[in-house]
């Protein structure tokens, strides 16, 4: 299992306009090994919303899952996967711009981003199971090696 957690704080001052705030990002990856060369994998990502320059991006979360089966001593791996199981419809970007001596513009853009998708993949590993030759390397003369 792998977990990655990040917190960022951003403070932006553009003329008289201030856009400040924190962003939390988290990722989790789990691989479950099952009998007879089967495995399953779950990936989850969450972003609490982000501030970048004069843009504010709404929160989003993505869950992906896959089932894998190895064949021929794991030289061939077949995977069936679903990306974006939750399918929350994407995220919204709100851009606020203050022009000198003018007005403040708000632009809302909805991005479907990662839509739910399904797939099947086949992967062939040409070097699976081959031995790796290891060679001992010595540096320095005999006197230095015995110190």
For position 1, what pLDDT does the model report?
Answer: 79
HSE of 140, CA atoms in CB hemisphere, 13 A: 6
For position 14, what pLDDT does the model report?
Answer: 66
Q: What's the pLDDT tens digit per position in 88-137? A: 666 666 666 655 555 555 555 555 556 788 999 999 988 755 666 777 76
> What DSSP element (H or E) covers 67?
strand 60-71
Alpha-carbon gap, residue 121 to 49, rounded angstroms? 32
Average pLDDT over residues 75-86: 89
Flag whether pLDDT at 74 surpasses 70.
yes
Name which residue leads in pLDDT, 141 or 129.
Answer: 141
pTM: 0.63
Average pLDDT over residues 72-81: 91
Flag whether pLDDT at 85 surpasses 70.
yes
Name which residue leads in pLDDT, 139 or 105.
Answer: 139
Q: Which of 28, 30, 21, 66 is nearest to 45 (CA)?
A: 28
């Amino acid at each position: 299992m792998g977990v990655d957690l990040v917190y960022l704080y951003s403070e932006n001052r553009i003329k008289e306009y201030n856009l400040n705030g924190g962003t939390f990002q988290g990722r989790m990856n789990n691989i479950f090994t099952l009998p007879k060369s089967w495995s399953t994998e779950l990936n989850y990502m969450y972003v609490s919303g982000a501030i970048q320059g004069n843009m504010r991006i709404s929160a989003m979360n993505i869950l992906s899952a896959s089932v894998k089966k190895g064949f021929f001593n794991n030289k061939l791996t077949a995977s069936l996967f679903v990306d974006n199981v939750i399918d929350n419809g994407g995220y919204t970007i709100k851009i606020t711009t203050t022009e000198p001596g003018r007005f403040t513009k708000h632009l809302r853009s909805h991005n479907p981003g990662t839509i739910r998708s399904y797939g099947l993949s086949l992967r062939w590993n040409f070097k699976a199971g081959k031995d790796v030759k290891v060679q001992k390397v010595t540096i320095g003369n005999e006197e230095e090696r015995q110190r």
